[in-house]
A and B are shown apart, each in its own frame.
Chain A
Amino acid sequence: MSRPPVDPSAGQPSLADDLARLEEIVRRLEAEDLDLDGALALFEQGVASLRSARERLAAAEVRVRTVLEEANGTLRLGELDG
């Protein structure tokens, strides 16, 4: 029962990760006593997360795929008809 997940994109950062990081960065930028270098570094990270989040939200269409089980027990993702 310990077959690997079928998804090759497993482990990639998600929108949830982007937003969590962005929230944390904004909180630190607003709350902590940072020097200018530190603030700039945080800002740059924040901009990267922001851009990534925006790209994800711009994704055009819900994707629906169906999970199929092969005869040998491996799972495969197929496009759903209709």
Chain B
Amino acid sequence: MTLPLPLSSALATDEVFSVRHLTATVKRLIEGSLGPIWVRGEVLQCRAPLSGHWYFVLRDPAAQVRCCMWRTYAERAGRPPADGTEVFVLGRPAMYESKGEFQFLVTRILPTAAIGQQQRALEQVKAALERDGLFDAARKRPLPRYPSRVVVVTSTDGAALSDIVTVARSRWPAAELLVVASRVQGEGAAADLVAALRRVNRLDAQLCIVGRGGGGREDLAAFNDEAVCRALAAVRVPTVSAVGHETDVTLADLVADVRAPTPSAAAELAFPDVRAVRRLVGDLGARLAGGLSRRTRLAAERLERTGDRLEAAIEAGLTHRRQLANRLAAQLDALSPLGVLERGYAVPRDGAGRVLRRRADFPPGLPFSLRVADGDVPARAE
């Protein structure tokens, strides 16, 4: 059944684990496979020595596990839990190699009774805000398309601000960001946020992003605070919430005009992509030029049509006048003495050029000339 002990094997040193090798291997197995998890149980044998670390056992009817809470976390948690307290603990499993013990490293501890109380308080606030219409879809405002000034309400320590600035730099260099600093967790965070949100209304901006960095499942109480939610609702410009907490939706998320899962996502919603806007401006420029040239072409065509009509009118007038002139000329011809001569008549005149009209004007032997159509003919009376 069991493997033979490979004493004679050349590979012996490879196949026999040292204790250290064993614990290190187990450590890798248990620490690599589970992230932070919440565990519910009852606290037993809690010790809080001078080192500041807490040690206790967490158990339920079927099993138990040793827990350790390092000083950094224990200090934040306040007082050590009394034995028998029902709690939720957040932590991750670990291997304590020098003792060969499996333990649970706790970062947060919450009495279940407190959770119940917090939950009830949250429900009350939510009901009050809902009654006052702060979650109504009808009061959601659209975000401005091209915000030039955006207020960011957040902590200046967290990653949220730098995430937002990074996205703004890549998408919308025309933006100006006004940062209103506020604590976002812990004691005083809610009051800070209320004051910061009120300041937003004294700034000339088009949009407000309020949020905090993502990462761990930190305390979100400030974003569920009633006064914070009401101050957020009173911000005069559209608001984007970015509480950096993909799974939990805070009441502030419900009040904001738009909820973004992270600060980066909020910035992407808030800022248009400058490349797309440049394309739009280019298109509008082309359409502007196109619009004008179409108008000029239409005007030119219209002018041409008007010109054609004018010419036709002048032409018609000229023809009329030409015909009139011809007719008048013909009448003039008819009246001209040359015209009479043309018909075969002749005009007799004496040497002095006087026209001879009667018989008495022609004594026998008088020389005279006859004017015919094409010239004078010399003649003598008989």
- A interface, CB within 8 angstroms of B: 1, 3, 5-7, 9-10, 14-16, 19, 22-23, 25-26, 29-30, 34-36, 39-40, 43, 46-47, 50, 53-54, 56-57, 59-67, 69, 75, 77, 80
A79 CB to closest chain B CB (Å) equals 11
Whether the pair B292, A26 counts as a contact (CB closer than 8 A) is: no
Whether the pair A23, B284 counts as a contact (CB closer than 8 A) is: yes
Could you write out 29 A-B pairs with CB less than 8 Å apart?
A1-B198, A1-B201, A5-B202, A6-B204, A7-B203, A14-B146, A15-B146, A15-B148, A16-B146, A19-B146, A26-B288, A30-B287, A30-B291, A30-B294, A39-B295, A40-B292, A46-B288, A56-B148, A57-B277, A61-B173, A62-B168, A62-B173, A62-B175, A62-B177, A63-B175, A66-B156, A67-B179, A75-B202, A80-B156
- Residues of chain A within 8 A of B180, CB atoms compared: 66-67
- Residues of chain B within 8 A of A57, CB atoms compared: 174, 274, 277-278, 281
Residue of B nearest to A5 (CB): B204
Whether the pair B203, A26 counts as a contact (CB closer than 8 A) is: no
Pick the residue among A19, A29, A80 that contacts B281 (CB under 8 A).
A19
- Residues of chain A within 8 A of B281, CB atoms compared: 19, 22, 50, 53-54, 57
Whether the pair B288, A25 counts as a contact (CB closer than 8 A) is: yes
B178 CB within 8 Å of chain A = yes
Q: How far is the CA of A9 from the CA of B203 in the complex (A)?
A: 11
Pick the residue among A15, A53, A75, A80 that contacts B203 (CB under 8 A).
A75
- Residues of chain A within 8 A of B173, CB atoms compared: 59-62
Whether the pair A77, B146 counts as a contact (CB closer than 8 A) is: no
Known: A3-B202, A57-B281; 11 extra A-B contacts, CB below 8 A, are: A19-B281, A26-B291, A29-B288, A35-B299, A36-B295, A40-B292, A46-B288, A57-B174, A64-B165, A64-B176, A67-B151
Q: How far is the CA of A78 from the CA of B152 in the complex (A)?
A: 14
Q: How far is the CA of A56 from the CA of B198 in the complex (A)?
A: 29
- Residues of chain A within 8 A of B199, CB atoms compared: 67, 69, 75
Whether the pair A43, B148 counts as a contact (CB closer than 8 A) is: no
Q: How far is the CA of A9 from the CA of B178 in the complex (A)?
A: 14
- Residues of chain B within 8 A of A61, CB atoms compared: 169, 173
Binary interface encoding of chain B residues 281-307 relative to chain A, with 1 for a CB under 8 A from any of its CBs, else 0? 100110110111011100100000000
Q: How far is the CA of A14 from the CA of B285 in the complex (A)?
A: 18
Q: How far is the CA of A81 from the CA of B287 in the complex (A)?
A: 44
Binary interface encoding of chain B residues 170-202 relative to chain A, with 1 for a CB under 8 A from any of its CBs, else 0? 001111111111000000000000000011011
Whether the pair A65, B179 counts as a contact (CB closer than 8 A) is: yes
- Residues of chain B within 8 A of A35, CB atoms compared: 299
Q: How far is the CA of A51 from the CA of B287 in the complex (A)?
A: 15
Residue of A nearest to B147 (CB): A16
A23 CB to closest chain B CB (Å) equals 7
